[in-house]
Structure 1
Amino acid sequence: MATTTSVPVTIPKDGSLTKATIKDIIGTFLTNEWPNIDPEKLIVTRNTGYANTNCVVERPKPKGGAHSEPLKVFLKIHGELDGDIEVFKHLVPNKLEEAQLCHDYAQSGLGAKVYGFFQTQDGSFGRVDEFLDARTLERADVEDENIRAGVARENAAFHTMSTQRKKNSVQSYYDTVTGELAKYHRMDKLKKLANEGGVNMDHLVDYDFVSRIRRVTDKLESIGGKKGWCIHDVQFMNTMVKNSPKQGESKIVLVDFEFVFQNYRAFDIGGHFLQKMFQWFDEESKIANCRPYTEEEKRHFCEEYAKQWNEKTGDSDTWEQVFMESELGFMLAITFEIHNMLCFMDQDDDKDPLNILGLNKLFEEFVNQYKKLELGS
């Protein structure tokens, strides 16, 4: 079980860490060799993301080469999530719960080992994790049937994972997101910001997402849509591909559990299919220049997912069942993205045309899918 350990260090507001501080944190959990290392000999690779500061920390190989503790670890300092995430605060895990999810995932033999979860004197939270020799999933990867199958199986394993976290009501998420989307419906400010950015998105702002989300979830219930621990933030950067997996070890590892709560499994599956078409951190276009998932690829993914789900749960789901659910989940994942981006626009007066073009692409995908599934007007 993950527990909080107090460490006698303070982290500056800008998130910067000295090598001595890094060594002291890691040495709190890896107590044999790490405390004796000269901190100036550490190699620290920093990466500051949307809300967190992440470091890969490497120590020199000891003389003779033998060592009982890892030479590389992953250090994560949790930042504060705000903005669009605030409305989901009652659903998302707190920092200790997130660490517990990572711990449980690792205990299942799938994720990175959690060496320790800590709180500093200034109140910051962080984790020391196993370093994964892996790269982020690329769009071309899922066109490889072996990697695609691995991603499918890993999602099914996560969705069915046994964890100590209390399950939320799935309806509580949909009550929240539809309430928020109702607030943005026909909002003149959003239309004005988009036009100032040089892109019209009046049709999106005037569109009634609320009633359509209800039709989608009603349909999911009618076909017996299953629920599980969904990640929600299923962008490709949060799926890792191991460079040299051990014999019998999964090549795929999922990371970043800040938004994990109970939802229809279809949300993550459909969201995975959706995310192939987008590259949210690109500075030239948010829309990826690649083909979307083909129907054949989706069906193969759903077949591999169903096999793993059934193995973990004892169910007898078919790929057809999972595929039908994913077609509906595709739209639920779209509305999650649209909500978050509209919230960002509203709060930060964002009028970046690339973001707005991305929003319009999401809207186009939703409308086309809704029409394809003949869910009504």
Structure 2
Amino acid sequence: MAAAASDAGPELRRTSSIDRIPAEARRILHRLAGELWGADVDPAALVVSQLQGALTNEVFRITWPGGEGDPRKVLVRIYGQGVEVFFDRADEVRTFECMSRHGQGPRLLGRFPQGRVEEFINARTLSAPDLRDPEISSLIARKLREFHELDMPGSKDISLWQRLRRWLEEARSRCSAEEARQFRLEALGDEIAELENALSGVDQRVVFCHNDLQYGNIMIYEETRQVTLIDYEYASFNPVAFDIANHFCEMAADYHSNTPHVMDFTKYPDMDEQWRFLEAYLSSSGEEPSDAEVETLLGLIAKYSLSSHLFWGLWGIVSEHVNKNIDFEYKEYARHRFNQYWDTKPRILQACNPSS
């Protein structure tokens, strides 16, 4: 989960010292100033602002004066402590570069040991209410379909179940006995196996998924109404229904509220909202979907919403133990996700398997 590289949006910013930026990154900034704008970087002229809402890395907007009031900006991303337990950083950088070649997201401008420098996108980062706007939701659906059609390298196998088991082992190895009891970690191996079994053998599309489609990772160009997706740290091949289910779950989040770790699942999209999203997603191929096609996907999405709760619940537990740079109540966030899993599992699986 990360903040977006935009100049306008819901991020709350606080001005930071240039000393927050590693020396290697400052050298890259100096080089970029000459390459991009033919200018020297005066450290005293740089304005460093930390973007709020990032839950995996620290993200900074770097601004220095340009001509005629045109500020020049780039983004510096400093990797969170210990987050390599969630993904392979080298794979993530390769994905970032590949997405850039596809014309998706920001360009990579430089790398340093603790992070990277990225192009600053002059678009607006979405806010939590934007996800409920019918027009914007339709734009997201069509953009997600485009994302899913990208030809990306790497194994085309589903990563979800292996990743859940790996994160569960990480959580068990780091939690105290009391934490493990509170979060029922001893039961989650069977829960993962049950979900995998319930979804195995089902005819479903496996595509390159974003896996973290929260509002802070979606940007919109106001003039053209073009949407772009950013931050691909968790991206991998998975079923389409998982990516959409995860996006629906994110409609319950507001990472810029006074309690950013609390999710309000009364805001999970109702059936009409889900149907509209899926119609926009499926019809973007040029063919109108049948009601049966939409209903089948709705059933899969409901089941995959359960795996989304386990996914981010385990992420929260592990993050509590490894990521000390970000001010976020990871453990309480995990509690919300697990509670929602246990509360909704009987209803969802019964609805999808009425004969059981």
Structure 2 partner of 1:362: 341
Q: 1:95 to 1:342 in 2, by over 3 A?
A: closer
2:121 pairs with one of 109, 127, 131 = 131
Code of the residue aligned with 1:54 in structure 2: it is V
Say which structure, 1 or 2, has more relative contact order (CA 8 Å, 6+ apart).
Answer: 2
Change in 2 beyond 3 A, CA 1:190/1:294? farther
1:258-292: per-residue Cα shift (whole Å, max 9, x none)?
11111111111001111212346755351237532
In the alignment, which of 111, 114, 117 is matched to residue 110 of structure 2? 117
Question: CA separation in 1, counterparts of 2:234 and 2:168?
Answer: 19
Q: Judging changes above 3 Å, is the alpha-carbon distance between structure 1 residues 264 and 141 closer, same or farther for their aligned structure 2 residues?
A: same
Q: Aligned partner of 2:280: which letter?
A: E
- 1:260–1:295 Cα change, 3 Å: same
Instruction: For residue 56 of structure 1, give the secondary structure of its aligned residue in structure 2.
Output: strand
Which residue, out of 211, 215, 232, partners 2:193? 211
After superposition, the Cα gap between the structure-2 partners of 1:26 and 1:98, relative to the gap in structure 1 and judged at 3 Å, is: farther
**In structure 2, how many angstroms separate the alpha carbons of the residues matched to 1:20 and 1:95?**
20
Q: Give the one of 313, 317, 340 matched to 1:338.
A: 313
**CA distance change for structure 1 residues 342 and 46 in 2, over 3 Å: closer, same or farther?**
closer
Give the equivalent residue in structure 2 for 1:278: 253
Pair 1:245-2:223 in alignment: yes
User: What SS does the corresponding residue of 1:368 show, helix, strand or coil?
Assistant: helix
Q: CA deviation at 1:226?
A: 0.6
Q: Alpha carbons of 1:364 and 1:37: their partners in 2 closer, same or farther (altered >3 Å)?
A: same
CA deviations on 1:227-250 (whole Å, 9 max, x unpaired) are 1111212222222244x233xx51
1:259-338 equivalence runs, <5 A: 259-279=234-254, 284=259, 286-288=262-264, 291-308=267-284, 310=285, 318-338=293-313
Structure 2: 5+ residue runs without aligned partners? 1-17, 324-328
3-state SS, counterpart of residue 272 of structure 2 = helix
Give the letter for the 1:167 counterpart.
Answer: S
- Asked if structure 2 preserves the Cα contact closer than 8 Å seen for 1:95 and 1:125, the reply is no
Question: Which structure 2 residues correspond to residues 133-152 of structure 1 after superposition, within 5 A?
Answer: 133-138=123-128, 140-152=129-141
Change (3 A) 1:87 1:255: closer
CA offset digits 1:152-194 (Å, max 9, x no partner): 111111121234x323421x54234246548979x9x777338
Cα deviations by residue, 1:199-228 (Å, 9 ceiling, x for unpaired): x655x854631332223321xx42x21111
- For the 8 Å contact 2:167–2:315, the answer to whether it is kept is no
Could you tell me how far apart the structure 1 residues matched to 2:288 and 2:155 are?
Answer: 20
* Number of residue-to-residue matches in the alignment: 328
Contact in 2 for aligned 1:193/1:351 (Cα 8 Å)? no
For residues 59 and 15 of structure 1, what CA distance do their matches in structure 2 show? 16
State the one-letter code of the partner of 2:105: G
Residue 159 in 1 paired to residue 148 in 2?
yes
Change (3 A) 1:291 1:22: same
Identity of aligned residues (%): 14
Establish whether residue 175 from structure 1 lines up as the match of residue 162 from structure 2: yes
Between the aligned partners of 1:151 and 1:31, the Cα distance in structure 2 is 34
Letter in 2 for 1:74: V
TM-score calculated relative to the size of structure 2: 0.75
The corresponding residue for 1:59 is: 64
The amino acid across from 2:198 in the alignment is V
User: RMSD of aligned C-alpha atoms?
Assistant: 3.9
Aligned CA distance change for structure 1 residues 46 and 351 (closer, same or farther; 3 Å): closer
2:342 maps to a residue whose letter is F
CA contact (8 A) 1:54 1:75 kept: yes
If you compute each CA radius of gyration, which structure gives the higher value, 1 or 2?
A: 1
Would you say the 8 A contact 1:15–1:53 is kept in 2? Answer: no
Contact 1:167 1:262 in 2 (8 A): yes
Q: Is the 8 A contact 1:264 1:329 kept in 2?
A: no
